Structure 1
Amino acid sequence: MNNSPVLRLNAADDVVIARQELPAGSWLEAEGLETRDHIPAGHKIALRDITAGSVVKRYGQIIGFATRDIRQGEHIHVHNLGMGNFERDYAWGVDSCPPERDAHQDTFMGIRRADGRVATRNFIGVLSSVNCSATVVRAIEDHFRSRGLSDFPNVDGIVALPQSFGCAFGSDSQMMAVMRRTIAGYATHVNFAGIVIVGLGCESFQIKDMMNAHKLHEGAMFHTLTIQESGGTRNAIEKGISLILGMLPEANRVKHEPVPVSEIILALECGGSDSYSGISANPALGYAVDRLVRQGGTAILSETSEIYGAEHLLTRRAISREVGEKLIRRIKWWEDYCERTGSEMNNNPSAGNKAGGLTTVLEKSLGGIAKAGTTSLMEVYEYAEPVTAKGFVFMDTPGYDPMAVTGQIAGGANLVCFTTGRGSAFGSKPAPCLKIATNNTLWRRQQDDMDVNCGTIVEGEETIEQAGERIYQKIIGMASGARTRSEELGYGSQEFVPWIMNAIM
């Protein structure tokens, strides 16, 4: 048990982190200083006097620059710490090395599809190509929810994924290419035994154009329809129900069998992060990711705006200069995108992040990349691109959680792990989501939403490795069909949020 009221993460740090709320005048014995201000739990305390303009370090890395003189024992936050420019040494691949493979092959109870891919759930999906068909796909799902699937015990459910857009953007635009890629990724997702795609009929996003672009074809387990061609809403709902009834017997024929953990493609996500994220849940998840990679599995880090300022730590792990340069090209794209749209890359931390002790995007990014473990960066993908590489990879996505996870699932993720410190209530389908709490307060407050508590690390009750092993075992259980909290609560259908990149005309 760690009885110190603060945590020091690196010998080079200029700050310590309060493990609990500290009143002004608190004496920190090990640091030999007295707090000058009230310090909220998870917030930073200056270890020494820092002059205006000087760098401030946490994790042994720069998290910002003092915007005024800071005295030892002061609270460090938005009032005295800000962003600034500094040189990053990309050092292409200097920390890259081939991952060691475990001698013992772990397994889970998965579903082997006819094409060889492995599913962790067995759904039938009902996708909307445009918001105009969202009500229809919901009605189709509601029909089966109210009646149940007791005659088809091997089918995990009918999943409607309505969306908010799908029209009023150009057929040759970047956004159209991304939308087609996203819908195609979901339509062919391994966790869907069958698919019905529902459109209005006259929208910009034409189903047939997406099918042609991605060489998809209708068949016994893959159907499309439009409201207009079906003769209206009621007819479209009835047709969708009929198509699913026809697919259910085949979908029910699956069986679970032992398959290697190398078949797992794990999406990594964090939302509602706090200052503890980079201390507890994220490095513990990173340990589990290293375990997964050593088994031959795949883990996808995303949210380009939330690795900003820490990208040089990933280029050091790139398997080649080419892979590292792909990552930097995505960073440069975002810098240009922000300049064109009047946004700022360094304006990422939300109000909740700041309340939880995170001050700058640099600090948030350094904690965020801890989810990715320590192995080599094998590949960099654009949003919703099919992920084919094994090991640790990166996908370019926005920092908005549902949008990022949508891209990762479209890319093939069959499981999701999501860390949170403030209490994000998120879930996903068709890939289930494991929620990981960074602190005990959150665990006690929102236990119905959380699957794993890593507050034990903050309290000194457990090591990162011990918590990481618990997460790894939970991942295997989730892959084998164990229901997560978000699944029990019904999350996932409303969290399908493709990336909207262009102006809506």
Structure 2
Amino acid sequence: MSTATSQAAPLSAYAIHVDARDNVAVAKVPVPRGTLVQVGGNIVEVLDDVPPGHRFALVVIPDGDFVRQYGQPIGTSKGVTAGALISRANMSNDVPVVRELDEDMHTAAPEYVPESQRATFMGYRRPDGRVGIRNWILIVPTSMCAAHEAVQIATVAEFTLFDKAKYPNVDGVTAIPHNKGCGCSDGSNIEVMLRTLAAYADHPNVAGVVFIGLGCEKTNLTVMEKYLNDQHRPLNKPVARIGIQDAGGTQGAVKRGLEAVEAMLPVANQITRTPTPISELSLGVKCGGSDGFSGLSANPALGRAADELVRQGGTVLITEVPEFCGAEHILAWRAKDATTGHAVYDMVDWYKDYASKFGTVLNENPSPGNVAGGLLNITIKSLGAIAKAGTTRVEGVVGYAEQPKGRGLYLMQGPGYDQESTPGLIASGAQLVVFTTGRGTTIGNAIAPVLKLASNNPIFERMKSDLDMSAGDVIDGTRSIDEVGLEVFEHVRRVASGEMLGKSEENKHREFQVWAEQSVSL
């Protein structure tokens, strides 16, 4: 045995070789310059200090050849030496555009778990047959002109009217203040806002609704009511409507709102949890504050949980369309048929066109934190991001805050921005969201749990009061993606049953915002 061989450590001690076709490995710990690693029968000397989450070349990658991770091109070499740190200096962002589809393509449905063997959870069965996992009284301002009063009603109600001992089946009183309506342009912007607010009011996690409007805005109470009727969404739950101008101003409107909440609380408390097939669950999958490990641990582990839910008859929703860019062909190839595959491409192309109107390109999506963590470009980020959706076939695509027409995996149009995309998933019917993070995030939602799955153990330990689970054992090599994925599935089931709260709920995170799809203030 040569001296170099005896000094070399197995590649797995320092890095992860994601796919056998890859010509790079991802450092899982700091790899100092001069480190010798054994790659198959070869010894590679690492030429640069490589931070965790970043890549180094396993072989010479000639100028013009593709740099590969996940078995896919992630950029083009500018001349990379074996052992070199992959950076923007030696790799361009150029990757091939892949858009071919077999017009006769057909992706088989997953092997579904027999109904008798499917998991169950304890849910709130609503009169229309849908099932909620939480039981909220919701205050909905029809425009930003009523946002202050909505918050006042919810805040005062929780402090003075809501008593968990008295109303054990109610989760509380919450509001969804926003900055839309009234002064926004007509067209798709108002349509998206009304659709989102209506979906929240109609959501199975909501037991009663108080609509509040100023009175003279474009999106007033009458417009909201007409929208609900036109969409055939009768609210089969207690509903109150309050006009601030009609009530004599803020104090009068808040008083009426509190009276409405007080009347709704005992009605909402009458419903109790009952055993429910897991097939009634709709799961939103998201990521934010991603790092170089997100696509290796947390995202594929969540994807494993998503696959299990689909196999058991449930629904999974994924969004963040800018983070499909560079990986959209993989989702299109997984579509149930060519028509659906083309719809995947169309939603990405729509977003590219939409972004270009504002002088923006999707390549600008990775944040400084993403880049510092190893996500050097949108292709790397996207290839890791889509792993959240598992491996089952794509059943269809829906617009922002639109309901899927069936069960299984659906893609929802929407931005990567967490504060807008997460509410969109809830509006599309998700009763809860699992949110993966590599650098740590705290976001929640007004009416639904948002569970955080860390990509690495150090960030989980540092932010334990905000993060629910960790997939870091995958990086450490002590557990498999399958093992962590099934743990995530069980954690979701228990939270859906009300056996535990998500950390975002414990910390009273109740974020809400509507995506301003094509907003112009007038």
Residues 338 and 181 (structure 1), Cα distance of their counterparts in 2 relative to 1, 3 Å cut = same
* Residue 262 to residue 54, structure 1, CA distance change in 2 (3 Å): same
Tell me which of 264, 268, 279 is aligned to 1:262.
279
Query: Counterpart of 2:59?
Result: 48
Matched-pair contact (CA < 8 Å) for 2:423–2:514: yes
Gaps of 5+ in 1: none
Q: TM-score, normalised by structure 2?
A: 0.93
Q: Confirm or deny: 8 A CA contact 1:14 1:48 kept in the other structure.
A: yes
CA positional deviation for 1:253? 0.2
Counterparts of 1:94-113 in structure 2, within 5 Å, are 94=105, 96-103=107-114, 104-113=117-126
For 1:35, the aligned partner's letter is V
- Residue 3 of structure 2 corresponds to none
Moved more, 160-169 or 274-283: 160-169
Q: CA deviation at 1:333?
A: 0.9
Aligned to 1:200: 214
> How large is the Cα RMSD of the aligned pairs?
1.8
Amino acid at match of 1:8: H
Structure 2 residue 443 is matched with structure 1 residue 421:
no
Contact 1:457 1:463 in 2 (8 A): yes
Matched-pair contact (CA < 8 Å) for 1:94–1:317: no
Q: Distance in 1 between matches of 2:426 and 2:401?
A: 7
Shift of 1:145: 2.3
Helix, strand or coil: the match of 1:228? Answer: coil
2:426 paired with 1:399 = no
1:128 and 2:145 equivalent?
A: no
Identity among equivalent positions (%) equals 38
Aligned residue in 1 for 2:89: 79
Asked if 1:235 corresponds to 2:246, the answer is: no
In structure 2, C-alpha distance between the alignment counterparts of 1:61 and 1:422, rounded to whole Å: 25
Q: 1:95 offset after TM fit, Å? A: 7.0
1:155 aligns with 2:170: yes
Aligned twin of 1:9: 18
CA shift in 2, pair 1:84/1:416, >3 Å = same
The one-letter amino acid of 1:175's match is N
| Match of residue 484 from structure 2 | 467
Identify which of 35, 48, 51 aligns with 1:26. 35
CA distance in 2, matches of 1:422, 1:99: 33
Q: Which segment is superposed worse, 235-244 or 157-166?
A: 157-166
Quote the Cα distance in structure 2 between the aligned partners of 1:61 and 1:220.
50
Determine which of 462, 479, 488 is the counterpart of 2:506.
488
Distance in structure 1 (CA, Å) of the matches to 2:486 and 2:236: 42
Q: Which runs of 5+ in 2 are unaligned?
A: 1-9
Q: How big is each residue's C-alpha offset from its partner over 1:38-85, in whole Å with a ceiling of 9 and x where there is no partner?
A: 11111110112223333211010011123x322211111233323225
Is structure 2 residue 449 aligned with structure 1 residue 432?
A: yes
Choose the corresponding residue for 2:203, options 180, 186, 189.
Answer: 189
Residue number in structure 2 paired with 1:39: 50
Q: TM-score, normalised by structure 1?
A: 0.96
- Closer, same or farther in 2 for the Cα pair 1:307/1:55, shift >3 Å? same
Cα deviation for residue 97 of structure 1 reads 0.9
Q: Distance in 2 between matches of 1:495 and 1:454?
A: 27
Do the aligned partners of residues 498 and 345 (structure 1) sit closer, same or farther apart at CA in structure 2, a change above 3 Å counting? closer
Over 3 Å counting, the alpha-carbon distance change for 1:142 and 1:86 in structure 2 is same
Q: Do the aligned partners of residues 123 and 360 (structure 1) sit closer, same or farther apart at CA in structure 2, a change above 3 Å counting? A: same
Q: 1:220 to 1:121 in 2, by over 3 A?
A: closer
Q: Secondary structure at the match of 2:402?
A: coil
Secondary structure of 1:333's counterpart equals helix
Cα offset for 1:209? 1.7
Please give the alpha-carbon distance, in whole angstroms, between the structure 1 residues aligned to 2:100 and 2:200.
35
**Is this contact kept in 1: 2:67–2:75, CA < 8 A?**
yes
Distance 1:218 1:120 in 2: 18
Q: 1:444 to 1:220 in 2, by over 3 A?
A: closer
Counterpart CA distance in 1 for 2:235 and 2:327 is 44
